[in-house]
Amino acid sequence: MRKKVNVFNVGELEDLATKLGTHEALEEKDGMPFLDLAKLGYNKLLSMGSITKPFSIKIASHSRSAAKKVEEAGGKLITPKAD
């Protein structure tokens, strides 16, 4: 049985942060906004779109190009260790 993959694109990060900030649900870690995409039901970050602000992002997996875009904007990805 295949596991369902719920993807999120880099280009949607800033809009998500704005929405969470409006509801005062945006945390901060390491001096930058923290987005726990895993907690929001997403398990893969893809590179469609662009990003200009740094974020600390927790996600189960990501594409290399998504990681590059996040890091170029000054952010970082947090990937949980597999058991």
What is the pLDDT, as a whole number, of residue 83? Answer: 47
One-letter amino acid of 64: R
What is the pLDDT, as a whole number, of residue 22? Answer: 80
Q: At 44, which helix (H) or strand (E)?
A: strand 44-46
Q: Is the sign of the CA dihedral 52, 16, 18, 56 positive or negative?
A: negative
What is the DSSP code string of 48-68?
-S---S--EEE-SEE-HHHHH
What is the pLDDT, as a whole number, of residue 82? Answer: 56
pTM of the model: 0.88
Q: Write down the domain spans for the chain.
A: 7-78
What is the pLDDT, as a whole number, of residue 4? Answer: 85
The CATH class for the domain spanning 7-78 reads alpha beta
pLDDT less than 50: residues of the chain:
83
Task: Provide the β-strand partners of residue 7.
Answer: 44
What is the pLDDT, as a whole number, of residue 81? Answer: 74
